Amino acid sequence: MRTLPLPPQAAPALLATCIGGVHDADLALRLNAISHQLNATAAVYDQLARVQSLYQVPRTQGVGNVACNELQSLYSGQMSAANGAARAVYDAIRNASPNSKCPLCGVGTIRVLDHHLPKSRYPDLSVCPFNLVPACDFCNVAKHARFPLTAGEQTIHPYYDDYTQEQWVFATLDTAGPAVLIYYVDAPVQWADVARDRVAHHFAVVKLGETYTSNANDDLITLRSHLVSIAATKGQPGVLANLVEEQNRYAGRLNSWQHCMYQALANDAVFVGGGYLAIPH
């Protein structure tokens, strides 16, 4: 949902730092023996990511004489561990997102690094910096060990994808019961099918609909009294003007829950005409 620059750390240097912290001499020897393969895989990852084709990265359960769990231990033992040899790099990547906002949803607070391609299926990418994305706990758990089998199943990668320039998330106000904002995906018709599939898949995987609805409906409660106050002095035109102003305030983030929320409300004649009085308070 938000873009981030690629981590400045080079894959070979990070791998060397992680291997350098391994105390098991036999494991360190075996890791050094396959380091050229791991670096080659990282380079392929970067190439495929630049053409939105990470689904083509081969999955593996080990490399050479190094097993899956041993490759994964490079991350758990040398990056995420408090005393790991590459903990400083872990912290630098995790802290790279402005205001600690999760780039996958734009709402949650950064807590962890998410393996864009899960290390359970791609252990050879466990410490590849391009594969490590700062994320909130909710998105990290929601993605879990999911991996793409097709181009359309690729979730949005903050380092390589930019789906922020056009709106593809929208909201509608459901008044069948208590007023509730419902979010949905409607990508631009001119987009390629793969792009349309990808944003829809990302929306579903990280549960953006749930997150956005929760935030928006909580905001509706305080919005009611605000609009009542505006209507008392400026009438219906004032209510509409306020909603449009708020929509425009978030126009720099077209797919944020706030922009979509105020857009939906401003376009709802019944809501503008007094429907906001039905909001529970």
Q: Kindly report the average pLDDT of the chain as a whole number.
A: 96
Confidence of residue 177 (pLDDT cuts 50, 70, 90): confident
pLDDT tens-digit profile of 200-220?
999 999 999 999 999 999 999
Taking 90 as the threshold, does the pLDDT of residue 190 lie above it? yes
Q: Which burial class, exposed, middle or buried, applies to 51 when counting CB atoms under 10 A from its CB (0-12, 13-18, 19+)?
A: exposed
Confidence of residue 280 (pLDDT cuts 50, 70, 90): confident
Q: What DSSP string describes 26-50? A: HHHHHHHHHHHHHHHHHHHHHHHHT
Taking 80 as the threshold, does the pLDDT of residue 281 lie above it? no
Taking 90 as the threshold, does the pLDDT of residue 179 lie above it? no
Confidence of residue 99 (pLDDT cuts 50, 70, 90): very high
Taking 90 as the threshold, does the pLDDT of residue 110 lie above it? yes
- Which residue, among 26, 45, 25, 48, has the nearest Cα to 37 in the 3D structure? 45
Confidence of residue 38 (pLDDT cuts 50, 70, 90): very high
Q: What is the pLDDT of residue 139?
A: 97
- Which residue, among 279, 281, 178, 274, has the nearest Cα to 232 in the 3D structure? 274
Confidence of residue 148 (pLDDT cuts 50, 70, 90): very high
pLDDT tens-digit profile of 40-91?
999 999 999 999 999 999 999 999 999 999 999 999 999 999 999 999 999 9
Taking 80 as the threshold, does the pLDDT of residue 24 lie above it? yes
Please tell me what DSSP assigns to residue 180. Answer: E
- H or E element at residue 234: helix 208-249
Q: What is the pLDDT of residue 1?
A: 80
The values of phi and psi at residue 117, to 5°, are -100, 120
The model's pTM is 0.94
Q: What is the pLDDT of residue 175?
A: 82
Percent of the chain at pLDDT exceeding 70 = 100
What is the C-alpha end-to-end distance of the chain, expressed in Å? 31
pLDDT tens-digit profile of 6-18?
999 999 999 999 9
Structural domain spans, the chain: 11-153, 169-278
pLDDT tens-digit profile of 157-169?
999 999 999 999 9
